Structure 1
Amino acid sequence: MNDEFYMDLAIKKAWQFLVLTYPNPAVGCVILDENGRILSIKAHKKAGFLHAEPLAILFALFSKNGEILSEFLRLYNQFFNTNFKNQNELENADLDAKFSYDFILKNHSNLLKNATAYVTLEPCAHQGKTPPCANLFVALKFKSVIISQSDLNKIASGGAKILKDAGIAVKMGVLNDEGKKLLEPFVSWQSGNFSFFKLAISKNGVATGGIISNLKSRTHAHELRGVLDLLIIGGNSVRTDRPRLDARLANAKAPDVLIYSKRDDFDKTIPLFNVPNRGVKISNSLCNLNAKLIMYEGGENLLKEMINHKISNLKWLLIYQSSQFKTGRNVMLDFSLNPLFQSKIDDGIYGWYELC
């Protein structure tokens, strides 16, 4: 196996949490032991919680020594009054960053000495909720860290220098193009705006007629809604579907909504107007939106209008496709997409695509 193989694993893992990390970048990390055995493949999942590197290191330690896992479960449950019973339950948890970082420093026992890490983005060098990730590699005596993308953020950059100064071998630019594409949403919202269109279709290409995607897909969409600055939907979809557009499946705050419509004649009993702590605006313009992260949600008509009018801030599509056939007319659109990432999601698939 070569560097590109392991970096590809890290990049694909990070794609699973794209946008969900807002305002942080999506980052993946793979840890190999001194003999080249894969110990963990992890990604940053949510802003405010563990970065990819300490999360991957923590689970690598679990892989090396089951007693470390038992001790982490005991102390974490005691400190936070939780009831995690095993590693599988920790896999789905948003673990406290500082506690986990401190635990690693106190309990690593040099088990990762001469290990290798593959990271999609240069490890941070700044003090945030935890000390710098670069310092963690130094403290645990890693042999080498392979990186896809340099961190251009002046506040967080400098991790590679910390590693090199400590005698750790550093290699930059592995799968550079793929790593750069993964980082594009972060760069976009850092400098202005990142917008994408979410579309759900059946196996045979129908996008209308009630619920289409499976529960896991809808939960993922709700998780995305929970981090948005703004959700935009077409007026016809609001009138026809009478949606709620909240984030209840993710137990998250409902996003503010802009209804894109030439007419302001909506029945205010439609559920989306009555969700607590959310703003709803009706407008016939998509200019000057003043939001860094926007999801457009709708069907064929809204997407067609946006593509035909070349809405400049729409560059990516997120498409959920169910495994079910559905009665109805297929989506009739004429444009090209560049596939960026695809994965199974329960019995369906989903993917990120770039408008060509």
Structure 2
Amino acid sequence: MLIARSAVRLTHAQAMRRAIELAASPDVPLWPNPRVGCVLLSKRGTVIAEGYHRGAGTPHAEADALNQAGERARGAIAIVTLEPCNHTGRTGPCAQRLIDAGVSRVLYAQSDPNPIASGGAETLRAAGIEVESGLLAEESRAVNRVWSRATELQRPYVTWKFATTLDGRSAAADGTSRWISNAAARRDTHVRRAECDVIMVGTNTVAVDDPSLTVRDADDLPAAVQPLRVVVGERALPVHAKVFDDAAPTLVMATHDPAMVLEHLWRMEKRHVFLEGGPTLAAAFAAAGLIDEIVTYVAPMLLGAGRNAVADLGISTIADALRPTVVDIAIIESADEQPCVRLVMETS
């Protein structure tokens, strides 16, 4: 429910923070569209109406607010978290809606990185509307961090997740790997799965481990819409593998080309891949420069032998090492188990 604030005067920064709150509403799906909020202010700074986008096919944030405002929008100031779109998709262009409504001024935080939808600011200016950009741009981008980067890259954002021992092993010499991480780390993995629209592994992982690749293990996780399960590789798969059950949709891609996989998923409007494959698939994506984020759970354990967390990357000298930037470190504690260290890194 939107909050009535008609008697409260807001600065432009306060109105933008409110728009960011609306954009991040918990009922808004993460994919495939950006999350956007809008606040309409009178020239005195009182709130006329608020709106936010609730997912593909629903009114955009500006349209939602304008629908509520009606004639009160004439002469108003529109505060929007993302540059008003300039194209017709499932709905019409927001820039034109703002022009038709007679707003006098538009302030937006983040420029639209989508080449198809961008250009709204120029359209508004051409219609004689005052336009300003950049107010709380970083805070706004944080709401759509992955969507923004994926849109800039024109491919899905890839998060590679793995668990490893201190000496870089993902399994022991006999193939056993349950459990390197602890229960809390596994639950954390499900939280991160729920933030993605694709969970990806290779055919070998399906054949050997028979994973379900679903969001589960916690009652408060959004399991209503499961991510697409994607299996990459040319190895024949058992027909009774868990990935072929009805818990979630599954796509098998018989290729070893990571770029081709991501191109296909982009066309399917998939925006965030959670890569959980074994060392071979991970190495293919890493060598191709197609990993954007790494989440690893490091267990206080030594094996000395066994499967490496990642296969050969073709790196022969320390100078050529891949060096992701650490953005977060946390100790993941679990009852009656050794803690793990979770590292989150970005590659660019």
Normalising by structure 2, what TM-score? Answer: 0.57
Specify which of 242, 256, 263 is matched with residue 211 of structure 2: 242
Q: Is the 8 A contact 1:122 1:151 kept in 2?
A: yes
Corresponding residue of 1:295: 273
CA–CA separation in structure 2 for the residues paired with 1:237 and 1:306: 17
The alpha-carbon deviation at position 47 of structure 1 amounts to 2.1
CA-CA distance at 1:238 after TM superposition: 7.8
Q: Match of 2:106?
A: 145
Partners of 2:21 and 2:118 lie apart in 1 by 23
- SS of the aligned residue for 2:228 comes to coil
- Give the letter for the 1:163 counterpart: L
**What secondary structure, in the 3-state scheme, does the structure 2 residue paired with 1:123 have?**
coil
Q: Pick from 286, 291, 310: which aligns with 1:314?
A: 291
Match of 2:300 in 1: none
- How many angstroms does 1:308 deviate by? 11
CA separation of 1:274 and 1:282: change in aligned 2, threshold 3 A: farther
Q: Establish whether residue 173 from structure 1 lines up as the match of residue 144 from structure 2.
A: no
Look up the match of 2:73: 112
Q: Is the 8 A contact 2:159 2:291 kept in 1?
A: yes
Give the drift of 1:309.
5.2
Tell me what 2:31 maps to.
Answer: 21
Q: Which runs of 5+ in 2 are unaligned?
A: 1-9, 164-179, 297-329
Instruction: Give distance in 2, aligned partners of 1:141 and 1:198.
Output: 47
Aligned to 1:340: none
Specify the structure having the higher radius of gyration (Cα).
2
CA distance in 2 between partners of 1:317 and 1:41 (Å)? 37
After superposition, the Cα gap between the structure-2 partners of 1:31 and 1:328, relative to the gap in structure 1 and judged at 3 Å, is farther
Q: How far off its partner does 1:19 sit? A: 7.8
| Shift, 1:272, TM fit | 0.9
Determine which of 254, 257, 279 is the counterpart of 2:230.
Answer: 257
Q: From the superposition, tell whether residues 326 and 288 of structure 1 become closer, same or farther in structure 2 (CA, over 3 Å).
A: farther
1:168 shift after superposition: 3.1
* 1-structure distance, mates of 2:87, 2:257: 40
Deviation at 1:312, TM superposition (A): 2.3
Aligned to 1:270: 241
> Could you list the runs of 5+ residues in structure 1 that have no partner in the other structure?
62-107, 338-353
Report the counterpart of residue 280 of structure 1 in structure 2: 252
Q: 1:259 to 1:7 in 2, by over 3 A?
A: same
Higher helix share: 1
The correspondence for 2:158, drawn from 175, 188, 196, is 196
Alpha-carbon deviation of 1:146?
A: 0.2
Structure 1 residue 50 corresponds to structure 2 residue 59: yes
Contact 1:30/1:119 (<8 A) preserved: yes
What's the CA shift string for 1:92-119, capped at 9, x where partnerless? Answer: xxxxxxxxxxxxxxxx552233332221
1:297-355 deviations in whole A, cap 9, x for unaligned?
549x87xx669957622223689x9x99444333346x564xxxxxxxxxxxxxxxx45
**Of 311, 331, 339, which residue of structure 2 is paired with 1:330?**
339
Change (3 A) 1:147 1:189: closer
| Equivalent pairs, count | 276
**Overall identity of the aligned pairs, in %:** 23
Q: Distance in 1 between matches of 2:222 and 2:111?
A: 36
Q: Distance in 2 between matches of 1:236 and 1:157?
A: 41
Q: Does the C-alpha gap of structure 1 residues 274 and 188 become closer, same or farther in structure 2, counting only changes over 3 Å?
A: same
Query: 1:267: how far off?
Result: 5.5
Instruction: Give the equivalent residue in structure 2 for 1:232.
Output: 200
| Structure 1 residues 232 and 324: alpha-carbon distance in aligned structure 2, compared to 1, 3 A threshold | same
Q: Is the 8 Å Cα contact of residues 244 and 270 (structure 1) preserved in structure 2? A: no
The two structures have a TM-score, normalised by structure 1, of 0.56
